[in-house]
Each structure stands twice: as C-alpha cells, then as structure tokens.
Structure 1
Amino acid sequence: MVLEGEYVLIAGTEVDQLKNQISGNNMTRMLIKIFFLAGIMCIPVRLAASGPDNDSIQLNSPVSGEKFYLFTDRSLYAAGEKVLFRVFNVSHTLLKQNSWSRVIYIELINNHNLPVAKGKFMLNSAGASGQIDIPDTLTTGYYYIRAYTRWMRNYSPSAYCHVPLVIVNPYKTSTEEYEKLAVKSDVSGVIGSGYVNGIRCIPDKPTYGKREKVILNLEEVYPGIAPDGYCITVIKNGYLDTDYFYDTRQEENIRLNMSGEFYYPETKGLSISGYVTGGEDKHPVANSSIFLTLLGNDPDCLEFKTGEGGKINMSIPHHTGSRDILLTVDTKEDKDIQIILDDEFSNEYSGMPASTINFFLDRKELVEEAMVNNQVKKSFMSAMIDTIPVTEIQPWLPFYGSPDLRYRMDDYIMLPNLEEFFYELIPSVMVVKARNRKFLTVLGEYGDMSIYSPLILLDYVPVLDDETILSVSPQRIDYIDIINTVYVRGKNYYGGIINLVSKEGDRAGVRLPSSSSFINYNTYNETKHTAFPDHGNQHNNTRIPDLRMTLNWIPHIDIPADSGHTIEFYTSDISGDFIIIVQGVTGDGRLVRGTGEFTVE
C-alpha cells in the first residue's frame, strides 16, 4: 500500500538522531513511539520547526489522531430519560492494538455550550458503551452529546465526535420558547456520504399487537465486514435522525496542537494531571514524590514523581463512582505547597451541531407525544426501562495483598507508645536514630532490604515523618500489617511496608502533612445493563403503562456468518410504525447499516 506525502523512515541510528533532536522536551520524547511506528508503516508525517521550546513535532498522519463514531438509541428524549450510546473506535490499527487510550469522556451539552451531564467510560479497541442520565430539570431545547479522549484534547474540539439531540420537558416549556425552536432554519447537520448496506433485518411478521413478542433475525450480507460487532436500536419511526452522521476523519482535524497544554494518552486507565508549586514565588516543585491515597472503601496508596516544571501525571486503579482522594507531596525544602490540577473534562467547544431535521417543526407531533408520555410516566412514578448495575463481588485485600505479618493490638499487653511496641513485640521493625532523628526500618531475610526506605502508612496515608507516629498510643490502633520483603510497585522500590490501621479511622489523632490536599474525583461510571420488560412474564404489572419509544437496545452484538443471530423483545403500549437500525463499522472505517420495519397496532 502506497500513501501520498512526505515519508520518514526511522530505524537504528535514525532513531538516535531523532532522540537527540527532541530530547529537550518530555512531551515530544513520548512521541518518538508514534514516529517509529509511522516509519515502519511508511505513513506520511511532517516535522515543523516552530513550537514550544523551539522543539515541536506536528503530526498529520492516520496514526496520530484517534477517531470515533458515536451512535445513540434515538435523537428525541424527554427529561429524566437515559441516553443509551455506543462508541466505535475507528482509530488507526496501531493505536487500537496498543491501547492508546483506555478512557472515553462523554458529555451532554446544552445550546450554550454548558455541560449538563457527563461521564467517564472504559474504552477498548472496539470502543465503548454506556448511558448518560438526562437531568429531569432540563428545559426543552436542542442539546448535543460528544465523545473524546484525553489525547484528543491536543487537537481541535471539532475532532471530537458530536451527535445532536432534542430534549423535551413539559414542565419547563414556554409557548414563546417553543415557537422560537420551531422556526425554520437554514442550518443543516452533516448528512452521511453513504454506507454499506450489509445487514438483513427480518422480523418474524410485519404487524404486532401491544406487548407482543417480536422475533428478529439478523444476517450479514458480507460476512465479517464489521470486526467490532454492531449496535442495534428498535424505536418508533421518526425518533431518530437517521441521516445525521458526524465524520471525524477530516484531514484538517488531524493536526496536533503543541502550543498550549499537553495531554498524555491514558494508556493505563484514568489519570490525574497537573503541576505542583511551592513557596511564595510559586516555583515548580520538580523531582519530588507525590502520594495519591484513595480513601473510603477499598483504600489504596500510590507514589509518583513530579517532573520538569513540577508536572504530575498519575494513573488511578480501576474504580467506579465518586472517590475522595488525598494528595500528599513529600518535600522537605519547599513550603506553601500548592497542587494545581488540570480540568477532568475539556473546556473547549466547537459549536452546536445541527440535526438534519427540525424536530419542533417537521416532527411536532412526536415532540408533543414525548411530552405527554413524560407526564404520564411521572404520574405513575415508574420507568419501564430499568438499569441493573453489573457488579462482581470479590473479597477485599489491601493493595499489597496478604501481609507477611499482622499484629492486632488487642492480642498484646498495652504499652505506652508505638515506639516501645515496635521494640518489645515486633522484631522485624527497628527504630533507628540518625542525625538526631528517629526512623523506622524493616528487617528482612535478605540484605537488599536496607537499600530502600520502607513505605510507612497510617490508615493508608503515607507517613512523611516517622517520629509523628512513635508517640501514638497502641490503644488507638486496630492492627499493624508488615511486608518484610522488598516491595515493588511500578517504578518504586520499598524496603518493606508498615501499615498502621486505626480503630476509629481517624489516623489515631496524627495530623495530616501540611503538603496534603483533598479532592473529590469521579472515576469510571458504573457499568449498567439496560433491562427491558418481559411481557411474557405473568407477574408483570399490566396496570402500569409501558410507554417506551425504544423497544430494544443492544450496544454490542456479533452476528455469526454461518447462522446469523436471533433476538427477542416485546412491543410497548405505543402504537405506530417502528424501525430497526443495526449499525457497525468496517475495518477501514466505513459505516455498515441494516434496517427493517414493522407496525404495532
């Protein structure tokens, strides 16, 4: 395969030469990997002479920029409902295979470019799926949902994936505002340039009654054409803008912006970035340890190093929901420490994407239907579509696993302080005095323990000054865990671990280091499974109306080439014409679609 453009082939000494050219900047050093891959693949790249520190690289190749297609179950919603989505990863194969990003950010934004709902979802080579809850306080109007990764924030926000939505709220709609929304506009959205008609969607009959089972058969016209599977939505006809298709693969969007803040790809999962300053002059605090402690259930403690300019980039283990985090900088020279964090979500916008249709003018009856149904649902205080959290209950262990030794204070005689407790009862821990200060050290079977300092924790928070815990009463401690071998985590080596856990979770009265800061951080959104009603179940409550416009949604499904695939679902209490839309993406990024239809009487 031959591509047009300037080619850079990098191998052997040429890699070394490139390293020398860009060694002055950590940001560009990280991009050597891209150039090396681009050289192997003979992909066009271009070097630019200008940029930060006079040492910039501007990439204009399929390797550099991530690209995604975003599909939702429909385009018209009522406040309080859920937007069900599927993201297809159509980035270059090298980025997908190397898990360039493992997090995708989803935002629901109003027509003033203000986010009203947002979330973080796990991303893999095939893409991602999930749901965004629409706040029931939103006013009627135009909104849009967008998807991007942290790496994509180095590019224009127009490279993010955008899908326009209409949200109605019968309790927050004025006649004047409604008339404004219904004005005919000359602005139209992006109409897809065509797709591969690659799926046969065959319902078992053309007409159904209310709450009747539908059996749908799916067959691939071209077997294996969509390697990452398909998503399926079954909705009332008119509720989805089937012509809208936002293509992020435009050449002008594949340009890396290196003139401002730089965002590293999240190759290991969620990350927190920013920088650390100290003193009244707020100078950068470089080459210092910064500890990240996850508080609450399943606590954890990780150590990172600040880089040039005090920069920090900290990966977080997999968690869901909101977590309280304590950040602690270990520096003895600097005072007045400040930790400044980057925004979790992008604060740059490309403007409101426009749908190819005006729902308030061209599909006014559907808008009014959605409003009426929303009122009925609220009256019955019940939603027919439910979500079930997908959880795996696993026995909890500390991040260091099972300790080599555990001492429960209640099993021993009470001594006046922990210094004496260590001296009298824990022979593997020694209190050492040096330079007029006392330190803890862990004794192990091998001599390499003395090479590294131990990691000392109090309620999983690092202890920066060992003397602060030696005077603590053992009566305030529940237990002490000891790891008496060299412990390696990431790039950090520790001469064992001492973890003291207080009885009340109050750090036994020991104050936090002055260089600590608390933050509340939203990790991954909880994985949920969308459950649709089974009207074949005799225990189903027939007195509660089923007003679903989305009869079925499957974010990921594979269709076997030899046998096809059969799915079953039930109609609701809504009559009318319904459409089936199956969508996928080919290996080279083309849209694959299949459609079907049936009527509910």
Structure 2
Amino acid sequence: MKIRTTHRECKVQERALLILDQDFYLVGEPINLFALTYDAALQIPIDLSSVLYVELYNQDNRVVSAKKYQLKRGEMVNRLTIPKDLQTGYYYIRAYTNYMKNFGAEAFSTQRIRIVNPFRIGTPWLDDELQPDTYPKGMGANTGVSSLNQPAGVNGSAVKNDEKQIIPVHADYIKPDSGLNISAHFERKSVHPGDSIALHITSAVNDSIQFLIAINVAVPVRAQSLQGRIVKAMALDREQVVNGKVWAKGDTGLVNKQMLHLPTLTPIPIVNHEIRYLPEIGCDIVTGCISGKNSRDEIANKSVYLSFVDSVSWVNRCQTDNSGQFVCKLPLSYQGNDLVINVIDTTVNYVVKIDDEFYPDFLKVEKEYYYPDSTLKENIETRMVNLQINDAFSAGLKRVPQTRPNVRFYGFPENEYIFRKYVDLPNLSEFVFELVPEVKAVKVGNHVSFRVHNIESAEDGEPLVLFDGVPFPSDCNLGNIPCKKVESLCVVTSKFFWGANAYDGIIDITSTEKRLNLVEAPNNSARVSFDPVITRRGGGSYSSAVPQYLTDIYFDKVCSFAGVADLKIRLPQNQGNCTLQIYGYTKDGRWGMVTLPNAVSITRSPVQL
C-alpha cells in the first residue's frame, strides 16, 4: 500500500535536539553526544523513532565519520570518536531520524565544531609569533569563532542556494523556562588528581526533571557555552512578519507551529514530497530493490531474506512490490557489520541492491579557514598529553564488543552438536551419517545435501539450511566441509512455518571462523558492509587501576524525581580547571541551563622532602 500523505500534511513534526559537551576538539578525542527527539509544533519531547543517525562531515560535505545510535524513550547519550587523520578546520555534525528525512536536511539538528590536528607537521596554530597579516585576506585569528544561525539551530556559516542567494533560516527548539532556576556546586573547590568529588544539583521544580551534566578540563575560554549555543539557535536571525505580527531579531517568543510556516525571502520553490521514509519504531528499516537481468523476469512478490554473518542466526524476511522494491525491519539487538541480502529463487538470476541508510543531501555552506590563535597553545598541549598517555595506557586493555542475544529467530534448537566434543571425522557429511540420526545426507556424485527426518511426516522433507547465520537453498553442497572447521550443528525436526513458506525442519551450521568463507555465497545475493545500530554506551571497559588522563571528565544524564540530584564523580589523573555545564529539562517541554566556569580545580599536592 502506498502512502500518499505529504510532509506538510503530517501531524507529527519530529525534530532532534543535539547537544555536545563542547565545540572544540582535537583529533582522536571523543565527541560526547546527547540527543532528544521532540515535536516541533507541540514543543514537548516525544518517543517516536528508535534510531538516530549522526554524521561528522567537512565543509566539502564529505562524511568522515557516521554512526547509528539507539534512542531509548526518545533520548540518547553516547560518543563519536574523531578520526586521527583529519586536517585542522571547521567541521559539521548533524543528527536526524529516518522519519526526519521526509523534511530534508533543513530539518536536521546541525552544529559546527572546531577540530585541531596538533600532530600534523607544518600547521601554524602553535606559533606564538603568528601575526594577523599571515591569515588569508578577510580572515583573522577569531574568524568563525562566533556563531551564526543555520537551519535546525546551528552555530555555522551562512547557507546559500545554487544561485548564491542567502537562504533565510530559523530554528525549531523547545522554549526555555527560567523558572526552573537550576543551580549546582561541588563539595570542594580544590581537589587532587584521582579524587572523588560530590556534585549537588537543585532546581525550583518539585517534579521529575532530567539533568545532562558535562564536566571538562581546560575548556577554551572563548568556547561558546552550551547555554549560549542553544539560546542562539532558538533566536530569530532577522526580523520576521508572521500573520501580520512583527517578530524582532533575536526574539524567542515565536512558537514552533508558526515557525514551520515562515515565508522565505527568496523565491525557492517548495515541493510537496510524499512520505518516503517511515519512522523506525523499535527497529531499523532497510530498503532496497531487486532487478532481473531480463526485462521479462518477474520481480514482484519475491521473498527477500536479510541476515548477518554470525554464529547466532537471525534472518528477516520481506516481500518485493510490483517494482521490485522491498522494505525490511531489522531488530536492533541482532545486527552486525556483514549483511547478506538474498533471494532464494534458483530459476532466475537477480541483481540485489540496498539503499544507503544515511541521507545523501547536505546544506550548502560557505567555506571558512580556521587558524587557532596562540591563546589556545597551552590548552592544546595539555590535551595532546592526555591523548598520548591515554593511548599508551589503553593499548593493552580489552574492549568489550557489543553483545547479541543467544536466542535465534526460530527459537532454540532441539539438538545441538558441538564438534570439539566428538571424535575427529573427515567432513560434515561423515559427521551427520555417524552421529546425527535426525539428519540424512543425500549424495549425488560429489554433491551432498541434507534432509531432516521430520517427526510429523513419514518422508524426509526439505529443511531451511543456515550456514554462519545465512540461509541457503536446501540442495546446497555443504557436505564436504572439513569437521575441524565447523563449530556446531543445530537441528530442529518439527515443521517450521515462515510467512507463506513451510520447511520440514531446520539445519543451522556454524563454522569456527564465523565469516562465511568456507562456501560460496548463495546465488541471487549481495554481501555488503553494514553500519549496525549502537545499542550501548561507547568507550569500552577500563580497569580502575589504570590511570586516566581525560579532557572530558564526565558526560551523562541523571534522572531526578524531585528536582534535586546528588552524584559522586571520580576525577582523572591530569590537572586543570574544570568547567561545569548542566542542561535540565522536563517532559512537558520546559528546560533551563547553568554554566559554571572554573567550578573546581584539580591540582597536585606539593611534594614534601
């Protein structure tokens, strides 16, 4: 069924609010992210989409890092690591959901950040003698440091269309409420490296309130505060007239429902696109198409199977429409990096393609040069030391990979054979013949296929065959695989009904390497690299005995039920002054902020001789 609703008729105006812990980073540092989805018309947080797309890209609109994160109850706290090979300059980071793609890149939450590569030889930003006349014409040491508005609230440069005309911009953000009156203080003003310190937060709201807390060492003095970025993003960048009422530049009183219908100052045509992108509610939606090598080949109502190469089988099935397009919902917890899409139809040769999940269009921006001035030298050198020491200490630490549930898409097998527990046999067909009574090996020449003794049928039926988590035709040749390269074989003897198909049992084989490299991929299939949804907080696991040197000391969300929160924070081993920023919000759309520069000082105690 086609959805004919246009994006202007859609009732839910989903938007994403993206908050970073700062706007100045070195290569190799993590960008701490907080995201909140909300309805731009009602100005309240909403829980609609389950996947958030985050991209870091340069001024040429080339993506340098991209991830997908799970949204839980409309919120996400995670991190995105900056690649170490980037050049110094301005970069942009944007966040959006699959549903927000219907509204275009203007609706995405986008921010401009500064990234410095201090390890690249020949850059002038650490030169104390650098004079203003060494910058390109029209540029200065502070050019681009002050923020300008951009669609969806960005501190960025002017956006222009193809005719080089500046596009009028505005932002859709939750209205601030000074009545929250958030305040905070540490139990001590001066502490030693490695100490634990208590933080006390209060507000004027005697109700449930969420606090986002960011603590950084050596944050640049000129870096715009978190509060300043959001307030600036909410303000109108020029005088606007809506329904006969004049709204002054900088006014935050214009409600989002009216802002969604602001007239443009340039004659840019507006197209009412159909809703193409569905909201990803509790799943990750993947789209693609199949095409036949002959124009007469049938492409409608074909079963398409999507699976990840792994030891835990989880296969998703969908049907193509009349044009060969398919839409498949993938669970968030079973994803991997190696995705196989195949059509189990041996009568026709098909070409299988998958659509890029990330949005291809970007806002047009004017390129700017960025040369950090000499006042940042001490800050950069301190953070360089933090990066180098942290890399040295964390090199040998084991990072915990993202885990997947043990249950398979068909449930649990009736019998499971672990090959290392049995005598070593030459190949899989011999193992089945000697040790697996519920499976029969059928040999025709050098071709060996398997059948299951179905308990509900007198005859041996065709099973669903899986190898390293990928479905294969029942007559595939797997019998000659050496047993020493097989880890396990799972069998289900009862009938398995899957959509319109019925299988006489299941044979699930897992190799020791789990890479699908022992057999050829099935016909009519495509094997692609996939970006799995990150379902847990990044950063790996570290031993408490290992000293840490961090610029981002703390970044997390704390829930409070009475407007008060207390927490204990362990400090790293490095020294410096810490800046504290707290963003508090309620479920009815009110929020407030507090920024405390030099809230606590980390200093080493003098050594007594």
Normalised by the length of structure 1, the TM-score is 0.71
Equivalent residues in 2 for 1:119-158, closer than 5 Å: 119-158=67-106
What SS does the aligned partner of 1:80 have?
A: coil
CA distance in 2, matches of 1:272, 1:96: 29
Equivalent residues in 2 for 1:168-567, closer than 5 Å: 168-172=116-120, 173-174=123-124, 180=139, 182=141, 184=143, 188-189=148-149, 195-197=176-178, 198-204=180-186, 207-209=189-191, 211=193, 213-224=196-207, 226=209, 229-235=210-216, 236=219, 237-241=221-225, 242-245=227-230, 246=233, 250-252=259-261, 259=273, 262-281=276-295, 285-319=299-333, 323-335=337-349, 337-352=350-365, 364=373, 367-377=376-386, 380=389, 382=391, 396=406, 398-406=408-416, 426=437, 442=452, 444-446=454-456, 454-464=463-473, 466=475, 468-469=476-477, 480-488=489-497, 494-501=503-510, 511-525=520-534, 527-528=536-537, 546=549, 548-554=550-556, 556-561=557-562, 564-567=565-568
Q: For the Cα contact (< 8 Å) 1:457–1:499, is it kept in 2?
A: yes
Q: Which moved more, 1:388-397 or 1:486-495?
A: 388-397
Per-residue CA distance 1:347-386 (angstroms, 9 max, x = gap): 111245999xx9968xx46533333224434564648999
Please give the root-mean-square deviation of Cα atoms over the aligned residues, in Å: 5.0
2:54 to 91, 106, 110: 106
Q: For the Cα contact (< 8 Å) 1:231–1:582, is it kept in 2?
A: yes
What SS does the aligned partner of 1:158 have?
A: helix
Q: For the Cα contact (< 8 Å) 1:322–1:522, is it kept in 2?
A: yes
Q: For the Cα contact (< 8 Å) 1:119–1:524, is it kept in 2?
A: yes
Q: For the Cα contact (< 8 Å) 2:288–2:325, is it kept in 1?
A: yes
Q: For the Cα contact (< 8 Å) 1:196–1:592, is it kept in 2?
A: yes
CA distance in 2, matches of 1:297, 1:417: 17
* Matching of residue 581 in structure 1 with residue 594 in structure 2: no
* Matching of residue 570 in structure 1 with residue 552 in structure 2: no
Shift, 1:329, TM fit: 1.1
CA distance in 2, matches of 1:394, 1:349: 34
CA distance in 1, matches of 2:518, 2:353: 28
CA gap of 1:507–1:188, structure 2 versus 1, over 3 A, is closer
CA distance in 2, matches of 1:458, 1:348: 38
Q: For the Cα contact (< 8 Å) 2:303–2:317, is it kept in 1?
A: yes
For 2:358, the aligned partner's letter is F
CA distance in 1, matches of 2:560, 2:392: 30
Equivalent residues in 2 for 1:34-49, closer than 5 Å: none
CA distance in 2, matches of 1:416, 1:144: 54
For 1:583, the aligned partner's letter is Y
What SS does the aligned partner of 1:344 have?
A: coil
Per-residue CA distance 1:414-446 (angstroms, 9 max, x = gap): 89995996799746769899xxxx997655455
CA gap of 1:265–1:462, structure 2 versus 1, over 3 A, is same
What SS does the aligned partner of 2:14 have?
A: coil
Shift, 1:233, TM fit: 0.9
CA distance in 1, matches of 2:229, 2:580: 16
Give the corresponding residue for 2:14: 66
CA gap of 1:592–1:511, structure 2 versus 1, over 3 A, is same
CA gap of 1:423–1:565, structure 2 versus 1, over 3 A, is closer
For 1:311, the aligned partner's letter is Q
CA gap of 1:61–1:491, structure 2 versus 1, over 3 A, is farther
CA distance in 1, matches of 2:484, 2:191: 68
For 2:203, the aligned partner's letter is E
What SS does the aligned partner of 2:2 have?
A: helix
Shift, 1:308, TM fit: 2.9
CA distance in 2, matches of 1:345, 1:80: 23
Gaps of 5+ in 2: 126-133, 156-172, 235-255, 264-268, 604-609
CA gap of 1:204–1:521, structure 2 versus 1, over 3 A, is closer
What SS does the aligned partner of 2:56 have?
A: strand
CA distance in 2, matches of 1:520, 1:160: 25
Shift, 1:103, TM fit: 0.9
Q: Which has the higher helix share?
A: 1
2:65 to 117, 130, 136: 117
CA distance in 1, matches of 2:176, 2:378: 31
Shift, 1:330, TM fit: 2.0
Shift, 1:590, TM fit: 3.9
Give the corresponding residue for 1:27: 2
For 2:117, the aligned partner's letter is N
Shift, 1:517, TM fit: 1.8
Q: For the Cα contact (< 8 Å) 1:323–1:520, is it kept in 2?
A: yes
Shift, 1:321, TM fit: 8.0
Shift, 1:277, TM fit: 0.5
CA distance in 2, matches of 1:60, 1:203: 46
Give the count of matched residue pairs: 528
Q: Which moved more, 1:298-307 or 1:134-143?
A: 298-307
For 1:148, the aligned partner's letter is Y
Gaps of 5+ in 1: 1-25, 29-55
For 1:558, the aligned partner's letter is C
Per-residue CA distance 1:132-188 (angstroms, 9 max, x = gap): 101122122111211111121121111111122111123443465688463646972
What SS does the aligned partner of 2:323 have?
A: helix
Per-residue CA distance 1:514-566 (angstroms, 9 max, x = gap): 312211112123633669999xx9x675xx9x5x4433222x11123175424
CA gap of 1:390–1:251, structure 2 versus 1, over 3 A, is farther
Q: For the Cα contact (< 8 Å) 1:295–1:326, is it kept in 2?
A: yes
Shift, 1:209, TM fit: 4.9
Shift, 1:77, TM fit: 1.0
CA distance in 1, matches of 2:563, 2:9: 37
Give the corresponding residue for 2:253: none
What SS does the aligned partner of 2:85 have?
A: coil
Q: For the Cα contact (< 8 Å) 1:487–1:494, is it kept in 2?
A: yes
Q: For the Cα contact (< 8 Å) 2:24–2:113, is it kept in 1?
A: yes
Per-residue CA distance 1:461-516 (angstroms, 9 max, x = gap): 323252x4497589799565331223355786544323345688798976443312
CA distance in 2, matches of 1:213, 1:381: 19
CA distance in 2, matches of 1:316, 1:398: 14
Shift, 1:582, TM fit: 1.4
For 1:230, the aligned partner's letter is F
Q: For the Cα contact (< 8 Å) 2:493–2:506, is it kept in 1?
A: yes
Shift, 1:67, TM fit: 1.3
For 2:534, the aligned partner's letter is N
CA distance in 1, matches of 2:345, 2:262: 42
Shift, 1:304, TM fit: 2.4
For 2:30, the aligned partner's letter is K
CA gap of 1:282–1:260, structure 2 versus 1, over 3 A, is farther
